[in-house]
């Protein structure tokens, strides 16, 4: 079977745009209000993980247990803080190299998609001016199982009309690298996943890799 890469599926947070600090500040405010210990190291564990699963990780440090209703309210509160913060994102928050890679792929008629766990994907893409850029968008609003389950990437491939074997995933989370592999896709690890030995390709960020060589 021909396994040439004809589609690239990008994770959003940490690959296309830097939202790390907004997620951190949103969770931090909620955690402080509840007197739950939370720091940037714990925040690293939330990379690629869905909102409710992130909350469960934060609650490992809680001194009491919370009902489902209380948990839903806490996640909603964090999201309200987060949505306020991402309201300040602009095209300047697009990560280094991302625009060049997107333009190169378009010029080579390679299809491009987003595969993100975030339910805020549409808001973020609009904020940074990339809401009409991708051929397909699969995000947290369309899936039931988040990374490391491959569901979001399989959906993105399906929306592009491509077989997983013809897709490359770009990810900054180890959970996302795992998801791509589980979906039978090749994967480029960047940022926090730049040291991931399971990735087929790695780079510190998208400005540090000759993308054309991956497509050969
Ligand atoms: C991922 C982030 O892209 O989206 C995670 O890496 C985040 O940190 C997840 O928890 C869900 O985001 P949201 O915007 O739906 O709360
Ligand atoms: Mg990410």
CATH number for 64: 1.10.150.240
Same domain, 69 and 96: no
Q: State how far the Cα of 154 lies from the Cα of 178, in Å rounded to an integer.
A: 13
How much distance in Å is there from the Cα of 171 to the middle of ligand 2?
Answer: 6
Same domain, 111 and 136: yes
pTM assigned to the model: 0.96
Q: State how far the Cα of 49 lies from the Cα of 183, in Å rounded to an integer.
A: 17
**H or E element at residue 121:** helix 121-127
What is the tally of structural domains in the chain?
Answer: 2
Annotation says 11 is catalytic:
yes
Annotation says 13 is catalytic:
yes
Residue 14 pLDDT exceeds 90: yes
Q: How confident is the model at residue 11 (pLDDT cuts 50, 70, 90)?
A: very high
Task: Give me the domain span that covers residue 189.
Answer: 7-18+91-215
Task: Specify whether the CB–CB gap between 170 and 8 falls below 8 A.
Answer: yes
**What is the spatial order of strands in the sheet that 201-203 belongs to?**
136-138, 111-115, 7-10, 167-171, 186-190, 201-203
For atom 4 of ligand 1, the residue with the nearest CA is 118
How much distance in Å is there from the Cα of 1 to the middle of ligand 2?
Answer: 30
The per-residue pLDDT for 37 is: 98
Same domain, 202 and 163: yes
Residue 134 pLDDT exceeds 90: yes
Of 86, 104, 139, which residue is a domain's last? 86
Task: Specify whether the CB–CB gap between 15 and 171 falls below 8 A.
Answer: yes
Give the distance between the most distant pair of CA atoms in the chain. 55
Assess if residue 1 is contained within a domain. Answer: no
* Cis before 166 (ω within 30): no
CATH number for 135: 3.40.50.1000
């Amino acid at each position: 079977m021909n396994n040439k890469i004809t589609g690239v599926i990008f994770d959003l947070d940490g690959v296309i745009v830097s939202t790390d600090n907004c997620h951190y500040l949103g969770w931090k405010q909620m955690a402080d209000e509840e007197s739950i210990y939370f720091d940037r190291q714990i925040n690293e564990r939330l990379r690629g993980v869905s909102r409710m699963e992130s909350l469960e990780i934060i609650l490992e440090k809680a001194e009491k247990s919370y009902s489902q209703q209380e948990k839903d309210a806490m996640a909603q509160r964090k999201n309200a803080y987060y949505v306020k913060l991402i309201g300040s994102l602009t095209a300047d928050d697009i990560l280094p190299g991302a625009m060049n890679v997107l333009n190169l792929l378009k010029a080579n008629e390679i299809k491009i998609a987003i595969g993100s766990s975030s339910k805020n994907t549409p808001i973020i893409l609009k904020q940074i001016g990339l809401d009409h850029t991708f051929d397909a968008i699969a995000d947290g609003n369309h899936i039931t199982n988040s990374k490391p389950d491959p569901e979001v990437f399989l959906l993105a491939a399906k929306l592009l009309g491509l077989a997983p074997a013809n897709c490359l995933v770009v990810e900054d989370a180890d959970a996302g690298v795992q998801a791509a592999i589980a979906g039978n896709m090749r994967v480029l690890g960047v940022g926090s996943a730049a040291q991931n030995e399971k990735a087929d390709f790695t780079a510190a960020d998208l400005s540090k890799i000759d993308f054309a060589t991956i497509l050969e």
